[in-house]
Amino acid sequence: MIRLLVTGGTFDKEYDEIGGTLFFKDTHVAEMLRLGRSRVAVTVETVMLVDSLQMTEQDRARVAERCLVSAETHIVVTHGTDTMVETAAHLARHVTGKTVVLTGAMVPYAFGSSDGLFNLGSALSFVQVLPPGVYVAMHNQVLQFPGVTKDRNAGTFVKERA
Amino acid sequence: MIRLLVTGGTFDKEYDEIGGTLFFKDTHVAEMLRLGRSRVAVTVETVMLVDSLQMTEQDRARVAERCLVSAETHIVVTHGTDTMVETAAHLARHVTGKTVVLTGAMVPYAFGSSDGLFNLGSALSFVQVLPPGVYVAMHNQVLQFPGVTKDRNAGTFVKERA
Amino acid sequence: MIRLLVTGGTFDKEYDEIGGTLFFKDTHVAEMLRLGRSRVAVTVETVMLVDSLQMTEQDRARVAERCLVSAETHIVVTHGTDTMVETAAHLARHVTGKTVVLTGAMVPYAFGSSDGLFNLGSALSFVQVLPPGVYVAMHNQVLQFPGVTKDRNAGTFVKERA
Amino acid sequence: MIRLLVTGGTFDKEYDEIGGTLFFKDTHVAEMLRLGRSRVAVTVETVMLVDSLQMTEQDRARVAERCLVSAETHIVVTHGTDTMVETAAHLARHVTGKTVVLTGAMVPYAFGSSDGLFNLGSALSFVQVLPPGVYVAMHNQVLQFPGVTKDRNAGTFVKERA
């Protein structure tokens, strides 16, 4: 059994056709699990729907708290990529004994050419087999915290040099 | 480093707009890896492009041989779901010391609402972390061979009862 | 006000993920009108859902009868391309005083890369402004019956040579 | 023969996956004509790629000039919906003897659930059969200028009351 905590991010952004801007309405995770024909029990919990640039320390504490109280020991967190590293570092300090995998997308799922479905399939797989710890799974890679930074120019994540 | 062996299956079927039938042209795997923004080294090798109902024992021997000679010890095989169990059982008998994960799709990738991208993300993740053995990864599940059958009515895979 | 008569054809075919074949479930026309944000009153009537190769003379008579009894004088008919010419010729002999535009698709709407939405937008526009008569609208062209044949190799429609 | 003048608008916007914003790269019109399997000769000319809120009087003069010098007498103009009415009014004052149809989209073509393909099919059809004049074709409707305003709340176009 897996708990999936939704926090928003590019993953769940939509296009507001009147204003011409991006916004959040609902998470697409349930639809994506249907499309992926998932047969693993996944409990989806929307913690918040925010752009990760707007995420506060209070928000990160709330995500950590939801991981701590989760009955499931395998947890996937969808998250914006801009501050995914900060949240993962926070979780690595406060959550132990559980496998937590953060994932996100470079392009909104609703926009057709998204990497979201690929990343969700990846995160939900890594979380089933990795030992307890906090990880980010994107771009077909999995990296464990602490020790990961974002390469903002490349839009990806890399291991910190020793 | 991962080797990805393409054998065809629903995954790679396309619609022939003149004849109104389904056929194979090329694999979509490279395009899917681009969409998933994969940053893991994946060598794609098209072994064959067939409907798995047409797959012969000779074909299965050829897939096993490609696994055996592969320099990479982490191998993903895309395959039609109809005889995926037969090929996996064959590989389980002939390939040792490597992690081989078979995956496929219920709907062609080219048809928009496919589970293919989700399954590919899943298979490429499981293959990185599972110990040597032969597995099928579909529907967010991973099952190890021998001991797996297809539930044809549900269109999924299940553990054989002891 | 426009009446839209659905007869099936490639337009409305879907992929049966258990059997791996193409079949009809429901028409996608209402969804397509929503996607096109149509603000013209269109009454959708499903006359039948068949592959046009299976269409009988009785079926064609039924389409003609639905055109004749329609309160609307502007009628779009969705139809498989294989025998679209035969049905259009039949309608041209039996329906007068109304503008009837047949359209279809080379690729099912459900398959993502379909020409269906383009053709539907085209047919619904031609039908509003053309004088009474029977036409086929596909490939951005409109051709009036009688005098049109299908070029089966090119998968398109052409004017008959005098 | 039809000339298609591209000016940008929602139609051609794309998602910048590094910055998370919308921007213009190239027009998608050629790809859309391929998808629609257009068999009518359409000459595509990119006049500019701008958000129509940024369009200046100079820009509108340039669009009018491109209409005036066009060898084709049937012209489609893709345009953002925010100031489509202003450009159409400008064209109605300066371009005579040609059929000019403006169209656009509520959602970018690249985002999958766009009305763009429907509107393009519609505009390319209306332009072939309407008498000279300036029109906007969206939402399955065609309205002639002058005498049209935008209903900003509904995101559509309506006839001005006398």
CA distance B136 to chain A (A): 12
DSSP H helices, B37-144, are 57-69, 84-94, 116-129
Which residues of chain B make contact with C109, given a CB cutoff of 8 A? none
Q: What number is the ipTM of this complex?
A: 0.95
Q: How far B28 CA sits from the closest chain C CA (Å)?
A: 15
| Catalytically active residues of C, by annotation | 10
pLDDT at A162 over 70: no
C1 to A114, B102, C44, D141: CA distances (angstroms):
39, 54, 11, 11
Say if residues D13 and D108 touch (Cβ distance below 8 Å): yes
pTM above 0.90, yes or no: yes
Chain C positions in Cβ-Cβ contact with residue B51 (cut-off 8 Å): 20
d(CA C158, CA C156): 7
Does D32 contact chain C (CB < 8 Å)? yes
For residues C75 and B14, give the distance between their C-alpha atoms in angstroms, rounded to a whole number.
Answer: 33
Residue in chain A closest to B155 (alpha carbons) equals: A37
Vertex D29: Cα angle to D23 and D30 (nearest 5): 125
pLDDT tens readout for residues A71-128: 999 999 999 999 999 999 999 999 999 999 999 999 999 988 799 999 999 999 999 9
The rounded mean pLDDT for chain B is 95
C-beta separation of C115 from C106 below 8 A? yes
* CA-to-CA separations, C131 to B102, C97, C126, in angstroms, rounded: 59, 9, 9
Residues 46-105 of B with CB under 8 A from A: none
Q: How far, in Å, are C116, C118, D104 from residue D123 at the CA level?
A: 15, 10, 9
Which residues in D lie closer than 8 A to residue C36 (C-beta atoms)? Answer: 115, 118-119, 122, 139-140
Helix (H, G, I), strand (E, B) or coil at A38: coil
- pLDDT (tens digit, 9 = 90+) per residue, C74-129? 999 999 999 999 999 999 999 999 999 999 999 999 988 899 999 999 999 999 99
Q: What is the pLDDT of residue D162?
A: 65
What pLDDT score was predicted for residue C74? 98
**Cβ of residue C127 closer than 8 Å to a chain D Cβ:** no
A58-71 pLDDT, tens digit each: 999 999 999 999 99
Mean pLDDT value across residues B118-142: 97
Enclosing H/E stretch for A157: strand A156-159
Each residue of D59-108: pLDDT tens digit?
Answer: 999 999 999 999 999 999 999 999 999 999 999 999 999 999 999 999 99
Check whether D36 has a pLDDT greater than 90: yes
Tokens of A110: 């609703």
Residue type, A84: M
Q: Which of B10, B27, B83, B99 is catalytic?
A: B10
CB D160: neighbour CB atoms within 10 A?
Answer: 10
Whole-number pLDDT of residue B162: 65
Size of interface C-D (CB pairs under 8 A): 107
Contact criterion met (CB below 8 Å) for B10 and B104 = yes
Most B-contacting residue of C13, C53, C107 (CB-CB within 10 A), to test interface: C107
Q: How confident is the model at residue B91 (pLDDT cuts 50, 70, 90)?
A: very high
Q: Could you tell me which residues are beta bridge partners of residue D16?
A: D21
| The three-state (H, E, C) secondary structure of chain D, written as one string | CEEEEEEECHHHEEEECCCCEEEECCCCHHHHHHHCCCCCCEEEEEEEEECHHHCCHHHHHHHHHHHHHCCCCEEEEECCCCCHHHHHHHHHHHCCCCEEEEECCCCCHHHCCCCHHHHHHHHHHHHHHCCCEEEEEECCEEEEECCEEEECCCCEEEECCC
Q: How confident is the model at residue B64 (pLDDT cuts 50, 70, 90)?
A: very high
Nearest-CA neighbor of C100 among C71, C47, C136?
A: C136
